[in-house]
Structure 1
Amino acid sequence: MPERLRELTSDETGRFDPRVCRIQFDRHQAIAVHDVTSDCRQPTADELPDQRYLAYGTSITEGAAASVPHTDYVTPVARNCGVDALNLGCSGSAYCEGAMAEHIAARDDWDVATLAISVNMAASGGFSPEEFHERDDDFVNTIAAAHPEKPITCVTLFPYCDDVTESGDAEHATAYRETLRSIVEDSPHDNLSLVEGPELLPLSGLAADLLHPRDYGMKRIGDELSQRLDV
């Protein structure tokens, strides 16, 4: 631990105790952790935030085009809301898998969640809006039913290439957003709510692939989304 942190006397250090450290690895490198050795221990409950935010989504949620791991959009949401973060971004997938729905539903270590679903389903061409409706309806309602007391916010597609390119399919993107909107509206679970992805991210926040947000776009999503969560 840095010597000055050992001597820190102020408690005004944010949502974590100043002696709590989080290790983050670059997403592109395979890392095997064999052991942790030093003068350290697991943090106690009073050294951590009272609540934890779970985020599910694609590589956008994972932070694919962010310059470093902590410039994804999940981190500023957690920082702005004063909570801990649990990032379940799934690069190249996030197909509203039943196994993932059951996994999130079975976990009891989160208090609020966002489900950003799913540009991978829309952009791959492998899922029609009708197929998306069937899978997504099961996905969000499985999680909501298991945690009726926890607020869950569904996020429609962020702006991406289908919306703005000549070869894109804007109607397809619109159909996906309308589908998720209707699923939330028709759900019997009151803990589900909806946020429109285009309201969180300007087109100028995207990288050159017109799909992944860069650092500016990630921060915009994080700042806007944190204002819409029930934390």
Structure 2
Amino acid sequence: MTPPPTQPVLRLSDVVYGVAERRLLAGADLTVPAGRSVSVMGPSGSGKSTLLMCLMGLIRPASGRVEVMGEDLARLSSRALAAHRRRHIGMVFQFGELLPELTPVENVMIASLLAGAPADTARSRAQELLDGLGVPHRTATHDLSGGERQRVAVARALVNTPELLLADEPTGSLDGEHREAVADLLFSTPREHGCALIVVTHDPAVASRADVRLHLHEGRLVQVEEAR
């Protein structure tokens, strides 16, 4: 499904979510079109992880709407939600969450196979992405550098050509050189792959690369400044 020009990839409308008596999201609003990047900062415990889980449909807000490609995630059945997530959303985790005993190609293929792609197609797409990212195919994943592992994680997130790419502290475990390389890669994806990108980070230097910088403050997403 390709969105019409007027339809954003992601739209949050007055999203509210809390745990016990604590509100982590208190009327969060956000609209992101294809080809744009957004960074979200905030102190630990401010609700950034909760926000990402809402965007993936892993938790349902108490009220409000989370729409990805025009679908309100809360209205989908569990089966339909899983299919919608596989088709439209890619996720890059802080530590990659790769299987070390597999090759990079096999790690990337998994997401494609789960989405129902034939093995040959999945392997070809994985190799194409890894070639583009400069990651060796045959080296065991556990022998890769931290930066190479994160590039594998990005490739896995992109293998199903998602419209929405999410990244949770993607450079948090990397040193300076690898951090810059992975940040370069992530913030080039909206332009090169036509997706919308949301990056949650504690790093102001990483956040500053986004088209729009937001701060999660008292459950609301507040714009800090236009980065460019």
Higher RCO (CA-CA < 8 Å; seq separation 6+)? 2
Same topology, TM > 0.5: no
Of structures 1 and 2, the larger Rg is shown by 1
TM-score range, shorter chain: 0.3 to 0.5
With normalisation by structure 1, the TM-score equals: 0.33
Which protein is richer in strand relative to its size?
2
